[in-house]
Amino acid sequence: MAEQPRICDYEGSDYRTRFWEGQGRNYEDTVERQVLHRMLPNQGHRLLEIGAGFGRLTQEYKMFDQVVLLDYSFSQLQYAREQLGDDGYVYVAADAYHMPFKPATFDCATMIRVLHHFEDVPSVLASIRRLMGDSGTFILEYANKRNLKSILRYAVGLQKWNPNTLEPVEFVELNYDFHPSYILRELHSVGFSTREYVPVSWFRIGAVKSLIPDGILASMDGLMQKTKWVVTPSVFTRNVAGGSQEDNLQIDLHDIFACPLTGGPLRREGNLFINQDGIAWEKRDGIYDFKQLVKGN
């Protein structure tokens, strides 16, 4: 079997309290919500939030009838479910390289602050494209290697890697920054056409954030985004799925699943989902758990 890409495992992580709550990132959070809101369609049927984490941004997707939160971490999803409940939301623990859904099941997908953990970008983008109906919207945020700080650091010799080259840079284990042209090329090669890109988080500098109130910084960010100058640490892109894949949007929400290993059908028996080889996964604590096998090998 081919070697599987490594996964950055957030199981049991304190990401929410260590990184967001009370950690001085209201400005980044506000700006991300604003850009997301501008890029999302006004209404939709079924949205897939890939790497949803603890559900920080999930409330932004209220214009969709159904929202599927997918994350590799069961514990992050448990917290999200405690906050959001089950009405309109479905929780799926799974690996984004092997998502357990039928093709063309979603009219929208988002992936925010997640791609930087992927060592095999072409593979995860191809998995996402397969799940999108024709003309579906995919909003992708990525960490930009060609940002002002890295350009300056490289220029004065404080950083070895070159921000202008296309290949991803792994600056910490399983944390990657990407060149904008690399991301556009990879999106295009799996069948997405990029309609819009927005450089965000212009003022992600401690001293600036402590001096200027979050709301003002967010407004200033909005102005800078209009320059389209892609030198920020974070970039949002809005992409449309091309091709002629008939969509599966009308299928019942509880019928959207397919085998994460083969893409083949799954038989449902109570809380169990069983593939043609007898391998099974289960729904437990209100979360569809496609991370852990309960039967098979």
Ligand X SMILES: C[S@@+](CC[C@H](N)C(=O)[O-])C[C@H]1O[C@@H](n2cnc3c(N)ncnc32)[C@H](O)[C@@H]1O
Strand ranges for the chain from DSSP E = 44-50, 64-71, 89-93, 106-111, 132-143, 169-172, 175-177, 192-200, 234-241, 267-269, 272-274, 280-284, 287-289
Tell me which residue has its CB nearest to ligand X: 53
- Out of 34, 76, 144, 237, the residue judged to bind ligand X by CB under 6 A: 76
Q: Which is nearer to ligand X, 125 or 247 (CB)?
A: 125
Q: Which is nearer to ligand X, 10 or 91 (CB)?
A: 10
String marking each residue 140-179 x if it binds ligand X according to CB under 6 A: ----------------------------------------
Alpha-carbon radius of gyration of the chain? 19
Measure Cα distances from 57 to 50, 52, 61, 169, 238 in Å.
11, 8, 8, 27, 17
8 part of the interface to ligand X, by CB under 6 A:
yes
- Out of 34, 36, 40, 53, the residue judged to bind ligand X by CB under 6 A: 53
Interface residues for ligand X in 13-42 (CB under 6 A)?
15
For ligand X (CB under 6 A), the number of binding residues is 20
The kind and range of the H/E element at 180 are: helix 180-189
**Packing angle of the helix pair 26-39, 214-225 (nearest 10 deg):** 40
- Out of 56, 81, 146, 179, the residue judged to bind ligand X by CB under 6 A: 56
What residues does 177 pair with on adjacent strands? 169
Q: Which is nearer to ligand X, 113 or 149 (CB)?
A: 113
CA distance 297 to 12: 25
Going by their DSSP bridges, the two strands 44-50 and 64-71 should be labelled as parallel
String marking each residue 86-125 x if it binds ligand X according to CB under 6 A: ---------xxx--------------xxx--x--------
Q: Which residues bind ligand X (CB under 6 A)?
A: 7-8, 10, 15, 51-53, 56-57, 71-73, 76, 95-97, 112-114, 117
